[in-house]
Every structure is written in structure tokens, then in C-alpha cells.
Chain A
Amino acid sequence: MFDCGIAQAFARAMIPSPLRSAFALIVCSACLHAASEPLKLWPGAAPGEKPGAPKNDETGKLSDYKVGGRPILILSSISDPTLTVYRPAPDKDSGAAVVVFPGGGYYILAIDHEGTEACEWLNSVGVTAVLVKYRVPRREGRLPYAAPLEDAQRAVGIVRLHAAEWGIDPKRVGVMGFSAGGNLCAVLSAKAGSRTYPRVDAADDQSCRPDFQILVYPAYLVPDNDLYTLAPEVAVTPKTPPAFMVMAEDDGIHVEGILAYGTALKKAGVPFELHAYPTGGHGFGLRPTGNPALEWPSRAEEWMRYAGFLSPRAPAKP
């Protein structure tokens, strides 16, 4: 098995600096177990998309913005959303799955530090990761989350439809989102009762309610002008899935968002876990920087284990 640390050290030593990160990314994708080919979410055009929409940005661009000392990879445009399945090592496989939504303000997708790297971590704790490239940037004339919500509802249905084939327990399908992706998870949890698009096929007959949600510095849970009132599109009911939330207090996107969401969950009797750290800013992903907030993957793993989502699957009957 390829070791990412070694790959990166090799990249640092051997490759001229402008190319290093790109090389490390390519090599690192080898660390992910058996990534499937990307699967189109919609057989035809996605709902509301007009012919002639720009092609998906497949290569992305390394941003000047660095996290954990490395630039992050940005996809600028997705019109034909996809999902990609990353499987854990068979001896580790818990049967749980998590559908991952990167952040980017609904304008772009931060596809590595809030996408592939999250999938890699999920695999390391025995979880199948399903990375969704949802539609960005925002669609003119539509709410920022409207097209991404269609993609998210569709993706969770597809995952459950393929559960047997992909070795997933359809009752342990969670979602995980960063920033705008965290908002998308909360919107999906609030609007999982019915699809927001006309039925396409059998995937849309499956429930699209996540069994649990992991919100990493979720955005837009409270409006900027009223930090203590939950936005209506993320309304909480007793049916809202259990949640894990993490955020830094110095995040400009407002830690009040998770305080308000937590308060609402508590009122509705929905179990959750919340961790707010003094510093860390926004967009830290999972790259260790020495900041205590970056311990959050360990907390999230403990929580999933505690809540029973990582219980080993029952042995197959002979």
C-alpha cells in the first residue's frame, strides 16, 4: 500500500516547487482505495440546466490560498454533477457510508482539502466515502442551495439504491459537509421528506434522509443580521438526523450558527455533539497544523463509533 507521507516527502525532495503539490495530489489519489469512475448523478441534463452549460472543470486550479502549508485545489464549474465512491480496505470496512460535500460558498468546490482528503480519512476509519461534485457556481435566478440540494437528494438516493452492490448498509448512510457543503447537509436534512425535482428513476424512490450528519464549519445556518435565529431552510424537527458539529470561534462565518443549530436540536430532542475551538478560522479542512481544532476527525470518529454507526457489519451467513 502506498503511504501518503512518503509520497509527499518524495514530491518535496524530487520535484521543482511549482509542480510539487500537483504531483503530491496525483500520487495521493493512489492512497484512496478503489475509487470508482465518477458516476453521473443525472442520466440527462440536471434539472433546470440548459443546453450549452459550461463543461465540468475536471482538472481544477491550485489556489494561492494555502491550508496546512499547501495550496488547495479548486473546481470552478460543475454543470453535470457526479459522485465518486471510495471504498475502505475490506478488513476495515464497517459497512457505513458518508456522502461528502466540499465547501466553496456555492461558488466553487474545494475539492481536495474538503473532498478527497476527507474521503481518505473516512476510508481510514472503515467508512465508504462518496464524494459529490454538486453544481457550482450559484445558478442565476435560483436560491444558492437549490441546485446543490437537488444533487444532494439525488446522490443519497443513488447511494442507497446501490447499497448492496457497493457493500453499504443503507441504514448507515451519513453526510458530511464543509462550509457551504455543511449548509447543504443541514438543508438536505431539513428537506429530506420529499424530492425537490420530478422523479427520474428508482433512485428517487429511496429515502434521501441522511442517517447522521457531520457539519464542519457549516455556513449560512444563521443570517448575518440575526446570529441567534436559525435560517428557515435548515429548520429542525424531531426527525432531523443526529449531528456532529465543529467550528472555530474566530470563524468569520459565525460560530453562533452551530450554537443556534445545537439549541434547536436540543429542543427537538435530536442527539448531537458540538465542539467549538477558540481559534482555527474558516476552511481548515483536515490538514494538521498544530491547532487543537484539527483534532476534530478523532472526535468525529469517536462520535460515529459511540453512536453505533461504525459497528462492524454482521458476518455473512454461510
Chain B
Amino acid sequence: MLAVGTLSGLCAQPPEMKLWPGTPPGNSGTYGAENDTTTDKDNLIAGRRVIRTGNVSEPTIAVYSPPAGKNTGAAVVVCPGGGYYILAMDLEGTEVCGWLNSIGVTGILLKYRVPTATGPKSDTFAPLQDVERAFGVVRSHAKEWGIDPSRVGVLGFSAGGHLSAMLCAHASARGYPRVDASDDLSCRPDFQVLVYPGGLVDHDGAVGAEVAVTASTPPTFLVFALDDPVVSSNHAFAYAAALKAAKVPLEFHAYPTGGHGYGLRPTRDLVTTWPQRAADWMRSLGVLGGR
């Protein structure tokens, strides 16, 4: 196979796999064809363009496996951000899978439905259905994909962080009618990584009901830059306090600068060292094997 060198070190783009055998449940809305909405006028991140995939009506996952000799058995479902309008598919997707592979973790890149036809507080929120379905599908393929089904985490950026937290709050039951055997498997993540998550608190400053924290919320890693112009730090602080109150193990890093939407492209801002913190955290949790 011809190796295509990329900045993220990925050798090849794995095929996308449809999440739903037929039409996805709920309301996908009616939009144009899936496309990259980025234009020349859009801002660059660390000097480079970002893919902003819009009009996703056919949700998929793509499985990025680490080199066989490096595989720890852990897997992470990656939820890119984009305000539930678009998905930052490279910055907060493929590049993250490349990093996960480098530490021996299988990256499962989730392309969930955007833009959304309903708000996240509705009963049938399409992105939540997609990520719930994705967890069952991943666990049902665990053996085939070289994954330990008890070490499957979720990692989300911005709106994808909100989606991760939503999944943790809704993991006890699916928000759609059963499709097949994969929906009988747990969709509770074993750990969650939230990178500049948005939408965690309501206008009153309290953690939103759709991302409510309980004692069964999985161990959480949270990273945030305090000069984030998009999401107030209240979101991260309120969520951290709620986790502490629920006695959920938390690691929280707040850095002075970095803004929003940096992904894991290194800049002068210390917050962009977060992947090292996250890898250390996963190691100490034992999810990377060999404590």
C-alpha cells in the first residue's frame, strides 16, 4: 500500500462506515449535499486551513487503528466540534485520530448529523442518537477491531464536547428505537475527554439538564483556555464543580491563553500541550494498559 504522508502522520484514510442500516432515526432536516464549507476568507488555525464539513445527513464512523505492535486495546470515539452547524473534520477529527494512534489508541472518528433540525434539549437530538449508536457499533466490533470494550472513551471539542457530556448523561437508555444487536450493548463511555466544551451551563449559570452530572458520570478530563472568546470559562468551572460534588474523578487544566478551536495544532500557547496531559491521564487511569 502506498503511504501518503500527512502532518498528522496518518498512513491512509480508513473507509467510512454508515452508522444506520437504513434511514437514520429522528429528524435529520433537509439540507443540500454534504460539502466542505471552508472558504478562503475563513480563519486559519496555526497557519493552516480547517475542513468544515456541512450538511451531514448520513452519519458515519471511520476506524483509525494504531500500528499492531503499539495497540493498547483502548479506543476513543472522537466528536469534532463546529457548533452543531459544521464539523471541523481534520482539526478536531483526523488529526486527533493520528495522535491517538501514536499513543496506541484506536481513534473512531464520528461524523454526526449537522446542522441540527432540533435543539439539544429535544427528545430526538440527531447527534446524540448518532453517538449512542456509534458506541454500540464500536463495542459490537470490539474483537474484530482489536479493542477492549471496557476501555472505550469519548473525546469531544466544543459542541463535540457538549455531545460527549450529553452522551454521558444519557448513557442508561438509547434515544431511538432498537435497530439491531449493537443497541443492546452499553453506550456509556468508560472515560471522557472534553476540550474547550461549549453549552454545558444554561443561562442561569447551572449545568444544563441535558448534560447533568451523576455519580455514574465517567472519569473526566477537561481542558480550557481562559481567554476563550466563544465559550465562557463558567462552563468548565461549573461542570468541574458538579463533577467534584458527584465524586466523579476529574482532571482539569485551565490555561491562560489559547482562545477556542485550536485542536491539537501546537502553538506558543501552553494549552496546546494538552495532548500530553491527556495521555498521562489515560495512562494513570489504566486505560492504556499496564498501570
Binding site for B on A (CB under 8 A): 228, 242, 249, 255-256, 259, 262-263, 266, 271-279, 291-292, 295, 302-303, 306-307
Contact = CB atoms under 8 A, between A and B. Distances in A.
Given A228-B241, A271-B256, A278 B250 contact: yes
B252 A274 contact: yes
B254 A306 contact: no
A65 B192 CA distance: 35
A278 B251 contact: yes
Interface of B: 219, 226, 233-234, 237, 240-241, 244, 249-257, 268, 270, 273, 280-281, 283-284
Contacts of A228: 241
A262 B280 contact: no
Nearest to B221: A278
Contact of A292 (B241, B250, B254, B280): B280
B244 A249 contact: yes
A275 B249 contact: no
A261 to B, nearest CB: 11
Contacts of B273: 302
Contacts of B250: 249, 276, 278
A256 B244 contact: yes
Nearest to A247: B252
Report which residue of B241, B252, B280, B281 has the largest number of chain A beta carbons within 10 angstroms of its beta carbon. B252
Contact of A262 (B244, B254, B270): B254
A297 to B, nearest CB: 14
B226 A278 contact: no
A145 B152 CA distance: 48
Contacts of B240: 259, 276
Contact of A303 (B249, B268, B270, B283): B270
18 contacts: A242-B256, A256-B244, A266-B237, A271-B256, A272-B254, A272-B256, A275-B253, A276-B250, A276-B253, A278-B250, A278-B251, A278-B281, A278-B284, A292-B281, A292-B283, A302-B273, A303-B256, A306-B256
A38 to B, nearest CB: 35
B16 to A, nearest CB: 35
Given A249-B250, A306-B270, A259 B237 contact: yes
Given A256-B241, A256-B244, A271-B256, A266 B284 contact: no
Contacts of A277: 251
Contacts of A273: 254-256, 270
Given A228-B241, A266-B233, A273-B255, A279 B249 contact: yes
Given A255-B244, A256-B244, A292 B284 contact: yes
A78 to B, nearest CB: 34
Nearest to B237: A263
B251 A276 contact: yes
B255 A278 contact: no
A278 B252 CA distance: 8
A278 B249 contact: yes
Nearest to A243: B256
Nearest to A266: B233
Given A255-B244, A306-B270, A278 B256 contact: no
Nearest to B250: A249
Contacts of A256: 241, 244
B226 A271 contact: yes
A274 B281 contact: no
Given A263-B234, A275-B252, A303-B256, 11 more contacts: A256-B241, A271-B256, A272-B254, A272-B256, A273-B254, A274-B252, A276-B252, A291-B284, A292-B251, A292-B281, A295-B280
B251 A262 contact: no
Contacts of B241: 228, 256, 259
A259 B251 CA distance: 12
B195 to A, nearest CB: 15
Contacts of B219: 278
A117 to B, nearest CB: 22
A313 B244 CA distance: 42
A230 to B, nearest CB: 13
B73 to A, nearest CB: 21
B235 to A, nearest CB: 12
Contacts of A307: 256
Nearest to A228: B241
A237 to B, nearest CB: 17
A262 B249 contact: no
A295 B283 CA distance: 14
A302 B255 CA distance: 11
Contacts of B270: 273, 302-303, 306
A291 B256 CA distance: 24
Contacts of B233: 262-263, 266
Nearest to A307: B256
A306 B283 CA distance: 27
Nearest to A290: B284
